[in-house]
Amino acid sequence: MPAEPVTPDALPLPDVQVSAAREARGRRLPYFSLGIVTLFVLVAILAPLLSPADPADQSLRNRFKPPVWMEGGTAKHLLGTDRLGRDMLSRIIWGSRVSLAAGVITVLIATAFGAAMGLVAGYYGGRVDVVLMRVTDATMSFPVILLALILAVTVGPSFTNVVVAIAVILWARFARVIRGQVLTLMGLDFIAQARIAGAGAWRIITRHLFPNTLNTLVVLLTLQIGYVIIVEASLSFLGAGIPPPTPAWGSMIAEGREFVTSAWWVSGLPGLAILLVVLAFNLLGDWLRDTLDPKLRQL
């Protein structure tokens, strides 16, 4: 007697995907956050075309010109000028490149490494898991800024250092969550069936476990981009991030700090830019989580 064919219902698909598809249909797209994210991504890519002036062009006669809607503002500098008479709008536009690039690159590196660690720890379990999770915990408890500050004085502040310093710590957050998810998946029948069918470790990890963690990864990735943008800005603010000639939002805020009373826009506007981008990424991440992986717990 031939074995009964396995019906699709008998295969325990992870419930995550089923409910995700169902929920996605009933939900409205988050237009606000999608719009802002798209806007800033476009601005960052098209910076050379969009910026009205050279962000490094100084003009001491035009120092501290207020934005156009305030008294004394000119249409030549829509968002005013800073302490050296540089055009604020152009600097914010170019600054978006730094922030977004730092956010995306750092998170991608951290995701790749963290997911790999999480998959390995969850798949092999036992000693491998214990060791990897201890490393993860130790990494996670090391303050990011301290490492970045040390790197900044060691090798000098640079874009690469910021990315490395944050990624070296951030991967642990991904590893921990993914490992937890893999542990749950390992208990499901489809993994056992794959084993019986003769699949090796590599095949099970890449073909069966990894695809099932994708939803979670996408959610975490989006939520962490905002966090990385904030950390990068904090570092630039402390002088340990992107070095000065390059316009970065954090260092712009630091430069305008002494003049908040007389020229609030020099610090205020870059701060607003950070708020908007990070808010958009966080809202988008929240929406993705509610749609793709409602049970996910994260910071």
In terms of CB distance, is 37 or 204 closer to other proteins?
37
In terms of CB distance, is 158 or 193 closer to other proteins?
158
In terms of CB distance, is 56 or 238 closer to other proteins?
238
Distance CA 223, CA 155 (A): 29
Tokens of 298: 């994260």
Tokens of 198: 């003769």
Q: How far is the CB of 16 from other proteins (least distance, A)?
A: 15
Q: Whose CA is closest to 181, among 116, 114, 119, 111?
A: 119
Q: Whose CA is closest to 170, among 232, 78, 90, 127?
A: 232
Q: How far is the CB of 59 from other proteins (least distance, A)?
A: 26
Q: How far is the CB of 154 from other proteins (least distance, A)?
A: 5
Q: How far is the CB of 33 from other proteins (least distance, A)?
A: 10
Q: How far is the CB of 55 from other proteins (least distance, A)?
A: 20
Q: How far is the CB of 222 from other proteins (least distance, A)?
A: 13
Query: In DSSP terms, which residues pair with 280 in a beta bridge?
Result: none
Q: Which amino acid is at 177?
A: V
- Cβ count near 127 (within 10 Å): 8
- Cβ count near 20 (within 10 Å): 17
In terms of CB distance, is 80 or 157 closer to other proteins?
157
Contact residues for other proteins, defined by CB under 8 A: 134, 137-138, 140-146, 149-155, 173, 226-227, 230-231, 233-234, 237-240, 250, 253, 257, 260-261, 264, 267, 271, 274-275, 278-279, 282-283, 286, 297, 299
In terms of CB distance, is 113 or 264 closer to other proteins?
264
In terms of CB distance, is 169 or 204 closer to other proteins?
169
Q: How far is CA 93 from the centre of its chain?
A: 19
DSSP symbols for 27-83: S---HHHHHHHHHHHHHHHTHHHH-SS-TT---GGGTTPPPTTSTT--TTSTT-B-T
